[in-house]
Amino acid sequence: MTAALDTGATGTAGQLPRLVKSEFRKIATTHLWWALLVPVAVLTFGAGWMGAEMGALSQMEERAGTPLPVGLLTVSMSTNFSTIFAALFGAMAVSAEHRNLTITTTYLTGTPRGAVLGSKLLAYAGMGVLYGLVNMVFASLGSLIGAGTAGFGDPTAWFSVVGAGLLSIVLWTLLGVGVGALLGSSVGAVIVLLIYKLVFESMLSTFLAGSDMAALNAYLPAAAGNGIVGNLAVPTFVSSLTGGSAQAPQTVYEVLHFFFGGSYMHPWWVSLLTFAGYTAVFVVAGWLVSRWRDIS
């Protein structure tokens, strides 16, 4: 029995590279991956360029009397624009297989089903990296045009922020895969992701803000996802604004977080762990549902 189990485990692990390669091949044969990547490039470039010209940021630079690393904030904003496209890509690509019944062939040739979902996670994590790199390049180019080299600030801070942005986009892509596998419907996945991120959570956070549970806002899924970058970029920017001093009015943080994501006095790594937890929940739920869903 032990030998049989070892053989099965080895077989599953052995076919994983083949399944991952197959997933990339399927991705490349559709237009979805680049159709959703184009708006990422356009919006991040625009956010990097025009964001640096925001009136509030210009006033802060005038008061400081020196160029500020506004690019850190525009990268946060551009990343939080890009994440919804990465999530939609992951959700639609997986759920479309159920709609077109191509998942049937995939499951029959790549059993067990868990190995299939595992290969999808690896492939779409790779695509999430691609989306993150495009976001980083075009946001950086926009910031360069809008704010000049001074907008990048300290190189360590810059790479920390863009690295956090990369992590955020990868996690959003995987969350999309989980939602797509869970619902099995492209239309349903798109509606759920768009309505939740753009409408429902905004209403919920407004309600919580006026109650004793306001602190829970930072732990909502979209807020946590935005906070991965925003809760790193905003404090770093304020630190440069105050010359390294920790003394800054709370309203400064709150205004910047409102526009660029994150929550006041909430560590970025807590947002990362929180959102990674949401991602894991949807991925596991998608895996469990896919084990018994009818594929005929």
pLDDT digit string, tens, across residues 5-63: 343 444 455 577 888 888 898 888 888 999 999 999 999 999 888 876 665 676 776 67
CA quadruple 30, 34, 37, 39: dihedral sign: negative
**Is residue 6, in this structure, part of any structural domain at all?**
no
Q: What is the pLDDT of residue 94?
A: 76
Instruction: Assess if residue 3 is contained within a domain.
Output: no
Please write the tens of the pLDDT for every residue from 226-246: 999 999 999 999 888 777 655
For the segment 119-177, what is each residue's pLDDT rounded down to a tens digit?
A: 888 999 999 999 999 999 999 998 888 888 878 888 899 999 999 999 999 999 999 99
Strand spans (E) along the chain? none
As a whole number of angstroms, the distance between CA 261 and CA 272 comes to 13
Q: Does some domain include residue 96?
A: yes
Mean pLDDT, rounded, of the chain: 84
Whether residue 166 is contained in a domain is answered as yes
Question: What pTM was estimated for this model as a whole?
Answer: 0.88
Q: What range defines the domain where residue 56 resides?
A: 11-287
217 located within any domain: yes
Nearest CA to 233 among 274, 271, 176? 271
- The tally of domains found in the chain comes to 1
d(CA 106, CA 121) in angstroms, rounded, equals 14
Question: d(Cα 8, Cα 12) in Å, to the nearest integer?
Answer: 6
The answer as to whether 50 is a domain residue is yes
